[in-house]
Amino acid sequence: MSAVPQHILDLVAQRRHGDDDSLRQILTALVPRVRNLVRYLVRGDRHVDDIAQEALLEILRALDGYRGEGAFEGWVHRIVTRVVFAELKARRADEATFAPEEQEPGPGLWVVGQDDRPDDYLERRRLAEALDKLPDDQRYVVVMHHAVQMSAPEIAEALGVPLETVRSRLRLGRTKLRSLLGQEGNDVGGEP
């Protein structure tokens, strides 16, 4: 995912100085980033909007506690990731009660940000479809490493798995993504 645009960072600075009007603008500007990250982490489109809304609410609750000591985008991504895993865990029991046809992913709705290029939608859709074909354990580490920019040790800690397991899942996930995306998937690479 690309860096948070400067205008959002300016709004965050205004909010830290007590500007209540900036809050709505911050959340509105974050909607595409949050929703798209949730879609990368969640297979299919069934729960994406609900989870994205929960993540935005958590960002809203935590925003006044953001002190600007770290990168804002990393802070947002970690909140979204935490919310996604908590929501997925809570929903696992419910999923067993749905009929198999209800669990099938449908056509996705992507939110386009004001800084997006015209082809960004198609690229995100293609990547999400490829990610849907990865096993969840590989999908999570690939997204956490490449989109959230977490290191392998950070991912291991967040998922509660050994570091070598993360490295193995990352390697397997990248290999499968390259295969699914063809030659254009070459940007999915590098060591953790």
Q: 182-189 — which CB contacts under 8 Å span 24+ positions?
A: 185/130, 188/142, 188/146
Residues 154 and 129 sit within 8 Å (Cβ to Cβ): no
For tokens 């009929």, the residue is 99
List the chain residues with pLDDT less than 50.
99-112, 185-186, 190-192
Closest of 90, 94, 92 to residue 82, by C-alpha: 90
Per-residue confidence (pLDDT) for residue 12, from 0 to 100: 82
DSSP 183: G
Domain residue extents for the chain: 1-112, 133-183
Q: Which CATH number fits domain 1-112: 3.30.420.40, 3.90.600.10, 1.10.1740.10, 3.30.300.30?
A: 1.10.1740.10
CA-CA-CA-CA dihedral for 87, 81, 115, 129, to nearest 10: -70
Per-residue confidence (pLDDT) for residue 2, from 0 to 100: 61
Q: Quick one: tokens of 116?
A: 């997006």
Residues 4 and 33 sit within 8 Å (Cβ to Cβ): yes
Per-residue confidence (pLDDT) for residue 34, from 0 to 100: 94
Q: What is the pLDDT of residues 121-163, one digit of tens each?
A: 678 788 888 999 999 999 999 999 988 889 999 999 988 999 9
Per-residue confidence (pLDDT) for residue 40, from 0 to 100: 92
3-state percent breakdown (helix, strand, coil) of the chain, nearest 5: 70, 0, 30
CA dist 158 and 191 (Å) reads: 19
Residues 12 and 59 sit within 8 Å (Cβ to Cβ): no
* Topology of domain 133-183, CATH: Arc Repressor Mutant, subunit A (1.10.10)
